[in-house]
A and B are shown apart, each in its own frame.
Chain A
Amino acid sequence: MSRLAAVVGIGQTEYRSARKDVSMGGLVNEAARRALEDAGLGWDDIDAVVIGKAPDMFEGVLMPELYLADALGAVGKPMLRVHTAGSVGGSTAVVAATHVTSGTFDRILTVTFEKQSESNAMWALSIPRPFSMHLNAGAGGHFAPHIREYMRRSGAPAHVGPMVAVKDRKNALKNPLAHLQIPDISLEMVMESPMLWDPIRFLESCPSSDGACALVISSEELATKGPNKPAWIRGMAMRSETMTCKGRDEVNPLAGSECAKDVYAQAGIGNPRKEVDMAEVYVPFSWYEPMWLENLGFADEGEGWKLTEAGETEIGGSIPFNCSGGVLSTNAIGASGMIRFAESAMQVRGTAGEHQVEGAKMAVGHAYGASAQFFAMWAVSSEKP
């Protein structure tokens, strides 16, 4: 990174199964307005807008960024749309921040959203398209074999996935914005829920949510001029690999681990397990917590599930994962990655409320997309390097 950049404003909508009270424009405007308020800025203070969402088929509006320009104060300003499937929320934050670190702009508004109530993601993922591999059963059906293979390799006991499902839903109870609020969630409830794609049960899956998330990212000079504490971006990276290639490991993708290593190197993190205070990691199906614990270098290969089982990923554990409730509690697909990035920034700003990790100084936000082949990640800190 050439220049320093920081998150100075964060805005999220409430996440619900259906926000029928607002249009797509109304939804993104709500998040953007909250981010500007947090940053103490107006629309005129923004140099450019970077927007992200899941593929257009998900709502059937082609190039929605064009018609959303009015709702985001982007008329007459540079506007860019980022496309990286489910990781798009993270990639969009990285692209936006890069426009600041490169010196191109001083203040960027970046917004991601999904309005899943206007369509059906499972359907959008399942239609055959020419010259593409056919994902027959949506995301869950696609990832179930990867999870089975993880269980086979690691020997992880069957209750580890359900433990993640319970932990993240308990965290969601501390986050008023989170979509799923299940006060009586328990291991029994999860294990008795219907099996959707063996070994993934209903309550081990993410919900389908409406919502938007926005960030204001500023240059170093402007970052300390706002009313609230900045979250300094210490490292950020994106990596991708093709869906099918010889030697590709879907369980522990090289692109994911390389992405994490790059971020740690930029941030000066030698031992992530010790030096990272919390992580918001893209876990749409429970078993992705132990899988990503390993892929992101928090545990050795085959050992991730032991951290989950020992409670180390709970708030109060040595490496809390998804204190906000994570993707398992809110999945407004296009926004889901950015919510991870935003929540990590909230933690180091000390503004996470009831789900705050006490004294968090260094946090990681992570997103993955498509067939576990697109990765985006950043490390943010309360401390300026």
Chain B
Amino acid sequence: MNSPEIMQEDFSVHYTYTRSTGPVIGDFLTALRDKKQILGIKGSDGRTLVPPMEFDPITTEPLSEMVDVSDQGTVTSFCWVKNPIKHHHIQHPFAFATIRLDGADTDFIHMVDCGDEARISVGSRVKARWADERSGTMTDIVAFDVTGA
């Protein structure tokens, strides 16, 4: 007796989450896309918070005073990724770094693409490398390049 034909099909479950970014993060992402501009926001204590926060961490009041900050800054700390895995955006060795952008009072986390661990240190000057096609996401900044020691 022949065994019955078994119907089979590959099936992988996936789903795209969406995000409603709200007024503050929405403005931040829109400025990345449309103006290659990084925005911060003034907190109640006068600090410029980057990326901007929707609610003040001290008073919980909604924040609204957006501030342009530079796309250049100084590395305050970093972690060298020697063996990137397939989910990393950069497929050769790079650094995840906290960067104090000029004009900001808080650190911003992004990737520094400098090829060699010896080329980055705390205090290195870096500049954003912008994507040619931008979509209003953090990867509109491809990475930061080291511009000086």
Q: Would you call A229 an interface residue if the criterion is a C-beta within 8 Å of the partner chain's C-beta atoms?
A: no
Interface of A toward B, CB cutoff 8 Å: 18-26, 29, 43, 59-60, 70-73, 75, 115, 117-120, 123-124, 126-128
Residues of B within 8 A of A72 (CB): 60
Q: List 10 A-B pairs, minimum CB-CB distance, nearest first.
A: A23-B22, A73-B60, A60-B17, A20-B20, A26-B22, A70-B55, A43-B60, A71-B55, A123-B15, A25-B54
Establish whether residues A71 and B60, one from each chain, have CB atoms under 8 Å apart when the complex forms: yes
B14 to chain A, nearest CB (A): 9
Establish whether residues B20 and A22, one from each chain, have CB atoms under 8 Å apart when the complex forms: yes
Question: With A and B bound together, what is the CA distance between A26 and B24 in angstroms?
Answer: 10
Residues of A within 8 A of B24 (CB): 23
B120 to chain A, nearest CB (A): 28
Q: Would you call B148 an interface residue if the criterion is a C-beta within 8 Å of the partner chain's C-beta atoms?
A: no
Additional 9 contacts, C-beta under 8 A, given A22-B20, A115-B20, A119-B15: A18-B20, A23-B21, A29-B62, A70-B56, A71-B55, A75-B58, A75-B60, A117-B20, A123-B15
Question: With A and B bound together, what is the CA distance between A30 and B59 in angstroms?
Answer: 15
Residues of B within 8 A of A128 (CB): 13
Establish whether residues A120 and B20, one from each chain, have CB atoms under 8 Å apart when the complex forms: no
Nearest-neighbor residue (CB-CB) of B22 within chain A:
A23
Question: Number of contacts between A and B (CB, 8 Å)?
Answer: 60
Residues of B within 8 A of A118 (CB): 17-20
A65 to chain B, nearest CB (A): 14
Residues of B within 8 A of A120 (CB): 15
Question: With A and B bound together, what is the CA distance between A325 and B120 in angstroms?
Answer: 60
Q: Would you call B84 an interface residue if the criterion is a C-beta within 8 Å of the partner chain's C-beta atoms?
A: no
Residues of B within 8 A of A18 (CB): 20
B144 to chain A, nearest CB (A): 24
Question: With A and B bound together, what is the CA distance between A124 and B55 in angstroms?
Answer: 29
Other-chain contact of A71, B18, B54, B58 (Cβ < 8 Å): B54
Q: Would you call B143 an interface residue if the criterion is a C-beta within 8 Å of the partner chain's C-beta atoms?
A: no
- 18 CB < 8 A contacts A-B: A20-B20, A23-B25, A24-B20, A25-B22, A25-B54, A25-B55, A26-B22, A29-B60, A70-B60, A71-B54, A71-B55, A73-B60, A75-B57, A118-B19, A118-B20, A119-B18, A120-B15, A127-B13
**B38-89: which have CB < 8 Å to A?**
53-60, 62
A69 to chain B, nearest CB (A): 8
Residues of B within 8 A of A20 (CB): 20
Residues of B within 8 A of A73 (CB): 60
Question: With A and B bound together, what is the CA distance between A119 and B18 in angstroms?
Answer: 6
Nearest-neighbor residue (CB-CB) of A43 within chain B:
B60
Nearest-neighbor residue (CB-CB) of B58 within chain A:
A75
Q: Which of B21, B54, B59, B62: most chain A Cβ within 10 A?
A: B54
Nearest-neighbor residue (CB-CB) of A72 within chain B:
B60
Question: With A and B bound together, what is the CA distance between A280 and B149 in angstroms?
Answer: 65
Question: With A and B bound together, what is the CA distance between A19 and B20 in angstroms?
Answer: 8
Q: Which of B13, B17, B60, B62: most chain A Cβ within 10 A?
A: B60
Question: With A and B bound together, what is the CA distance between A225 and B68 in angstroms?
Answer: 45
Contact with A along B21-39 (1 / 0, CB 8 A): 1111100000000000000
Residues of A within 8 A of B17 (CB): 59-60, 118-119
Residues of A within 8 A of B62 (CB): 29
Question: With A and B bound together, what is the CA distance between A71 and B24 in angstroms?
Answer: 13
Question: With A and B bound together, what is the CA distance between A123 and B55 in angstroms?
Answer: 32
Residues of A within 8 A of B54 (CB): 23, 25-26, 29, 70-71
Question: With A and B bound together, what is the CA distance between A75 and B44 in angstroms?
Answer: 14
Nearest-neighbor residue (CB-CB) of B63 within chain A:
A70
Nearest-neighbor residue (CB-CB) of A68 within chain B:
B55
A163 to chain B, nearest CB (A): 36
Residues of A within 8 A of B22 (CB): 21-23, 25-26
Nearest-neighbor residue (CB-CB) of B53 within chain A:
A70
Other-chain contact of B59, A19, A43, A124, A126 (Cβ < 8 Å): A43
Nearest-neighbor residue (CB-CB) of A71 within chain B:
B55
Question: With A and B bound together, what is the CA distance between A71 and B54 in angstroms?
Answer: 8
B102 to chain A, nearest CB (A): 25
A307 to chain B, nearest CB (A): 41
Residues of A within 8 A of B21 (CB): 23
Nearest-neighbor residue (CB-CB) of B59 within chain A:
A43
Nearest-neighbor residue (CB-CB) of A22 within chain B:
B22
Other-chain contact of B18, A19, A117, A127 (Cβ < 8 Å): A117
Residues of B within 8 A of A19 (CB): 20
Nearest-neighbor residue (CB-CB) of B15 within chain A:
A123
